[in-house]
Amino acid sequence: MSSYALRRICRALLLSVLALLPHLVCAASAPTRPNILLIMADDMGFSDVGAFGGEIATPHLDQLATDGLRMTNFHVAATCSPTRAMLLTGVDHHRAGIANMKELITPSQRGQPGYLGHLDPGVPTIAERLRKAGYHTIMSGKWHLGVDAEFDPANRGFEEVFTLLDGGHNHFGKPNLPPPELGGVHYTENGEPVSIPDDFYSSDYFTDKLLGYLARPTDKPFFAYLPFSAPHWPLHAPKENIAHYKGRYDAGWDALRRERLQRQQSLGILGDDIDMAPPATLRQWESFSKKEQQEFARKMEIYAAMVERMDWNIGRVIDELRSTGQLDNTVVIFLSDNGAAPDTLSSFANKVPHFPSINAGQPEDWGGADSMLSYGTNWAQASTAPYRLYKSVVTEGGLVSPLIVRYPGFARQASIDKRFATVLDMVPTLLSIAGVRQPETPEAFSGRSMLPFLMRETETIHQPDELFGWELFGQRAMRQGDWKLVYVSKPNGTGDWALYDLASDPYETEDVSAAHPGVFEVLQQGWQEYQRTMGIILEEQVVSPWTAL
C-alpha cells in the first residue's frame, strides 16, 4: 500500500472519530440512573440488627449501616400488609385497599371502600411507575397483598417475580401453613403457580431467585424488591445458625433488653438518660421455672438464627453487586414492616382446625420443619427496645422500624439521624431518585420525597405542623411534630386517649393530656378528620388469630 493511500485511510478514520466525538461526550456525561434495591424484613424488631444495638450477627447490614444513613425515627404501620401497601403505593393503607388485614376484616367492614383485603387495582405501585419509566422491575419474596391471580405482583408491575402470596408459611416449605382450611400456601413465578424444591429454606430461596433475575443481561437500571418472610413465625432456621446462639439468652429478656439499651447508648442512638428499668408489661424471668426458661431461651436462639441467616443472604446480594461493579450505583434500602411480633400462636391454634401443634417435641429439636413456634411478648419487648410494646399496637414499639439507606451519591452517609420520616415517603423518594416526574395527587397525609434531605438540601423531611394518622384494629394515633395522641385498648393501654411529648418522652411513659389541653384538642380534631377522610370503620380488635397480646 502506498503512503498516499495510507494517509487517506488515516484521514478518513480521523474524520469519523471527530464526527462521533460529540455523541461520545454526550453519552459519557449523561447521568446514569441508579439501580434500586429495596429489602424488607418481616416482624423484625428495632434493636435486632447490630448497628441498632443488637447482639445478633448481622455483619452485612451493619456494614451497610456504617457506610450509609441510619434513621432511628422511621415509622411504618403496626402490621405487615398495611405497611407493604403503603411502601409500594405511597398511599395510606386505608386508601390502598388494606384498611384492615384480609384475615381480620369484620362483618361491618366487609365490602366497604378500602376494606378490600388486597391491593386496590386503581392505585399504581412503584413497580408499575418505574417499569413505565424504563426500569427493569424484579421481586422475590413475600407479597401478602392478595392471593388471586389478578392481584399477583406479576400483574402489578413486576417483570420477573417469584413470590409467596400469603402472609406466612413454613420456612422449610412443608405445606402445613397456612393450613388447608385457610386455603393453603401459594407460590407463583411470573404469575403462574409453581412448586418449591425439597431443600427449600425461605431466605435462601428468595435470594437465589433474586440473584438469578439480576444475572440476566439488560440495558436498563433495575428496581429489585426483596421482602423476606423472616423472622416471622414459625421460628425455623438451619441448625448451623441456631448453634451459634446456644446459651446466649439464658439470662432472660430483661438482661437482653438492658444490654441492647447500653449498646444503643454507645452507638449514639440513645442518650445517657434512658431509664433502664423494665416496662411494667415485661414478665420477671425469675418467675418461670428452669424448664420454662430453657424453652424460652431456645426460642430466642432460633429467632436470632433467622435474623443471622437473613443477613447472610443480604450479603450474597451485596457481594454480587460489588463483583459486577454495580454496588456504588445502587441505592440500597433496608427496613422492617413493623415492630417485633408478640404472637404466642395459642389463639390461632384454638381457632383453626388441624393447626399444627405448637411447642411440640423436645427443645433441642425445635427450629426444624416440624416445629411450630413463636417467641412471645417478652422477647418482643426486648426486640423493640427502647420503644414501648410491639407489633399490632400503635405505640412506637409497633410503628418504628430501623431504616438503612446506603448510596455514595447521597450527601448524608456514614451517620445516624433522628428526624421523623414515614413509609409513605418511600414512593416519592424512589421516583425522585429515578428522575421520574412526581404524580399530582390530592391524597391527604401523603408522603414527601426524602431526596432533598438525603442531599443535605434541607434539614428536615416533614414540617412541624404536618399531621400523621395511624389506625389498625381500632388502635389509633395522631402525630404532629413531637406530639402524639394515642388510643390503645386494654390490656396494652388504658382504653382511652393519652397524649405524649415525644421530645422529652419518646418511650411514651407519661400521659400529659391534662397539662396540654390545647394540643390534645388539636390532635383530636386531626384524628376526626383523618377518620372521615380515610373512611375508617372502627372495630376494636385486641386479640387476632395472628396475635395473642
pLDDT, residue 181, reads 82
Alpha-carbon torsion 302, 305, 310, 316, what sign? negative
**pLDDT tens column, 438-494:** 766 555 447 899 999 999 999 999 999 999 999 999 999 999 999 999 999 988 888
In order of 173, 237, 246, the CA distances from 240 in angstroms are 18, 8, 11
Q: Is residue 477 part of a domain?
A: no
For this structure, is 80 an active site residue? yes
Q: Is residue 502 part of a domain?
A: no
Q: Is residue 7 part of a domain?
A: no
d(CA 200, CA 222): 26
3-state class (DSSP) for residue 421: strand
d(CA 100, CA 108): 12
Q: Which domain holds residue 209?
A: 43-462
Q: Which of 537, 106, 58 is nearest to 318 (CA)?
A: 58
Q: Count the domains in the chain.
A: 1
Alpha-carbon torsion 58, 89, 442, 33, what sign? positive
What end-to-end distance do the CA atoms of the chain give, in Å? Answer: 90
In the set 60, 75, 118, 144, the catalytic residue is 144
pLDDT, residue 482, reads 96
- The vertex-110 CA angle with 109 and 115, nearest 5°, equals 75
d(CA 462, CA 346): 41
Q: Is residue 75 part of a domain?
A: yes
Q: Counting runs of H as helices and runs of E as strands, what totals does the chain give?
A: 14, 15
Q: Which of 335, 254, 267, 251 is nearest to 42 (CA)?
A: 335
Q: Is residue 1 part of a domain?
A: no
Helix, strand, coil percent content, the chain, rounded in steps of 5:
35, 15, 50
In the set 60, 75, 80, 462, the catalytic residue is 80
Which grid coordinates are listed for 187? 407460590
d(CA 548, CA 464): 36
pLDDT, residue 542, reads 63
Look at the block and give the residue holding cell 402470596: 165
* CA 425 to chain centroid: 13
In this structure, the number of other CB atoms found within 10 A of the CB of residue 544 comes to 18
| pTM (predicted TM-score) | 0.92
**pLDDT tens column, 162-205:** 999 999 999 999 999 998 888 899 999 999 999 999 999 999 99
Which grid coordinates are listed for 170? 413454613
Q: Which CATH number characterizes residue 102's domain? A: 3.40.720.10
pLDDT, residue 443, reads 56
Residue stretches of the chain with pLDDT short of 50: 1-31, 444-445, 543-549
Helix axes of 376-383 and 290-323: crossing angle, nearest 10 degrees: 40
Which residues, 6+ apart, have CB-to-CB distance to 273 below 8 Å?
none
pLDDT, residue 4, reads 37
3-state class (DSSP) for residue 468: strand
Q: Is residue 508 part of a domain?
A: no
d(CA 56, CA 50): 6
d(CA 215, CA 193): 23
Q: Is residue 26 part of a domain?
A: no
Which residues, 6+ apart, have CB-to-CB distance to 355 below 8 Å?
179, 348, 349, 372
pLDDT, residue 547, reads 40
Q: Is residue 469 part of a domain?
A: no
d(CA 293, CA 284): 11
